[in-house]
Amino acid sequence: MEKKLVSSLREAIELSGLKSGMSVSFHHHLRNGDYTLNAVMAEIANLGIKDLTLNASSLFDTHAALEDHIRNHVVRKINTNYMSQGLGRRISEGLMDEPVDFRTHGGRPRDISLGITPIDVAFIAAPTADCAGNCSGKYGPSACGSLGYAFPDAMYAKKVIVITDNLVSYPMQGWSIPEIYVDYVVKVDAIGNPQGIVSGTTRITRDPVGLIMAETAVNVIRHSGLLKDGFSFQTGAGGASLAAASFLKDVMLKENIRGSFASGGITGYLVDMLNAGCFESLMDVQCFDLKAVESIRTNPRHQEISAMQYASPAAASAVVDKLDVVILGATEIDTDFNVNVHTDSNGCIMGGSGGHSDTAAGAKLSMIIAPLFRARLPIVTDHVSCVSTPGRDIDVLVTQRGVAVNPKNEELMLRLKDAGLPVVDIRQLKETAERITGVPAGIKRGERTVANVIYRDGTLIDTIKSI
């Protein structure tokens, strides 16, 4: 076996055989603190390689340098699951010739594993690695916890380059991704800025409206019939969702309910629930804060899962299909319960599905928490400007002024009504909002398609137009 440890990114790229027109991939565990994508792309541009397909599990504003690589035709095509506001705006303005393909956290590994989006060279930033490429996110100065989203890249890319700032002697202990997939290892000074990788602490909201919604959300869960021993749960890291997790913990402890697992992006709140005995284990595809990182490092019941095991429809089975309840957010939801998490109210890209549609499809109860209006914009519309998750997968919308149940879930509707929850028709919520805010004028969408939204089964669910 030739020596894997090479002296520079440039050497690794050259050895990988990367050529114009190929595809490269990155994971997003370093989030807005990531240095790796920018460093690699700069080196690729220096080498004169062009027309690449960039397959990144998510893109953040720290990746703004991509704009130049797109203009200079280093990057021709982007496949991703999430794109934050800064880059999203540029894409919406028509920066790229080819539309961005948005997938879900489950759809991406599905399409990688099925060869629909093949990867020539995967660049895997690893907070700790050894010279053979055994690597993990749990240790090192840039520790990010789980490396879940990097697994499909490691397993299916033709060449895999591990980039680390914490090289340890072989064999490292507690690796997540084994050497069998890794072709080259590069040591760099820093793979990311720890402060941007995970937040020190994620806090529950102090916003009184958020707390009201969280309380209602927990009441919905209580009366759904699902909150019993063996309960499984997922929630996002939004303020109201975290508050809901915190209230749910109180209820589970008070009623002595022992759940099975919580999954997805893991925060300190879910770690607290694990340690308090609310769950048997955590299934962690990504850590959101230092407490989660510490927990996955030290607690064997806090388990790392790959993106495939998390949500891939091509996997023999996946965690999302065993979920009882998921709490999700929305920028818009329409009267058919279709949810938009890709674009803002002006039709500008500012997000993506992530695991939204995967968990909504899998969970028995998919709940959206959203304020009835943000600033002056009603959350409920006649038609969302982009369908990220189809309404058939959404069971209930919780707002500060009432709960709307998807009529397809009659049982839940009856249960919540019997429990005295403020159940209203979703159209009534729309009217209530518009009575307060006024009726917003419709937004004119551009002609050009700037992004395709690909549902987790590979079908095109919507397109996003230029602004």
Binding site for other proteins (CB under 8 A): 208-209, 211-212, 215, 345-346, 374-377, 400-401, 436-438, 440-441, 443
- Mapped onto helix, strand or coil, the DSSP state of residue 440 is coil
Q: How far is the CB of 376 from other proteins (least distance, A)?
A: 4
Question: Phi and psi (nearest 5°) for 19?
Answer: -130, 165
For strand 402-405 and strand 396-399, is the pairing parallel, antiparallel, or unpaired? antiparallel
Minimum distance, C-beta of residue 332 to other proteins, in the bound complex (Å): 12
CB of 272 to other proteins, least distance (A): 16
- CB of residue 331 vs other proteins: minimum separation in angstroms? 14
Rounded to a whole number of angstroms, the minimum distance from the CB of residue 439 to other proteins is 9
The contacts of residue 299 (CB under 8 Å, 6+ apart) are 274, 275
Minimum CB separation from other proteins for residue 426, in Å? 18
Tokens matching residue 199: 């937040």
Q: Which is nearer to other proteins, 114 or 212 (CB)?
A: 212
Tell how far CA 414 is from the center of its chain: 32
Say which DSSP state 115 is in. Answer: T
> Contact at 8 Å (CB) between 335 and 430?
yes
CA dihedral sign, ordered 134, 140, 141, 143: positive
**Cβ closest to other proteins, residue 88 vs residue 192:** 88
User: What's the min distance (Å) between Cβ of 451 and other proteins?
Assistant: 20
Q: Which residue's structure tokens are 């230092």?
A: 290
Would you say 136 or 345 has its CB closer to other proteins?
345
Beta bridge partners of 54: 24, 78
Nearer to other proteins, 50 or 417 (CB): 417
Rounded to whole angstroms, how far apart are CA atoms 149 and 344?
26
Residue 325 CA from chain centroid, whole number = 17
CB of 401 to other proteins, least distance (A): 6
- The residue among 44 and 398 lying less far from other proteins, judged by its C-beta, is 398
Asked if 151 and 308 count as a contact pair (C-beta separation under 8 A), the reply is yes
Nearer to other proteins, 436 or 460 (CB): 436
CB 46 within 8 Å of CB 38: no
For residue 403, which phi and psi values (nearest 5 degrees)? -120, 130
The distance of closest approach from Cβ of residue 399 to other proteins in the complex, given in angstroms and rounded to an integer, is 9
Nearest CB to other proteins, comparing residues 5 and 212: 212
CA angle, corner 356, sides to 354 and 361, nearest 5?
130
Q: Tell me how far apart the alpha carbons of residues 79 and 137 are, in angstroms, rounded to a whole number.
A: 23
Other CB atoms within 10 A of residue 250 CB:
12
State which residue, 201 or 346, has the beta carbon closest to other proteins: 346
CB of 208 to other proteins, least distance (A): 4
The radius of gyration computed from the CA coordinates of the chain, to the nearest angstrom, equals 22
Question: Would you tell me the crossing angle of helices 208-222 and 239-254 to the nearest 10 degrees?
Answer: 40
User: What is the distance between the alpha carbons of residues 103 and 149, in angstroms, rounded to a whole number?
Assistant: 13
Please check whether residue 302 is in contact with residue 274, taking contact to mean a CB–CB distance below 8 angstroms: yes
211 vs 290, which CB is nearer to other proteins? 211
Closer by beta carbon to other proteins, 249 or else 401: 401
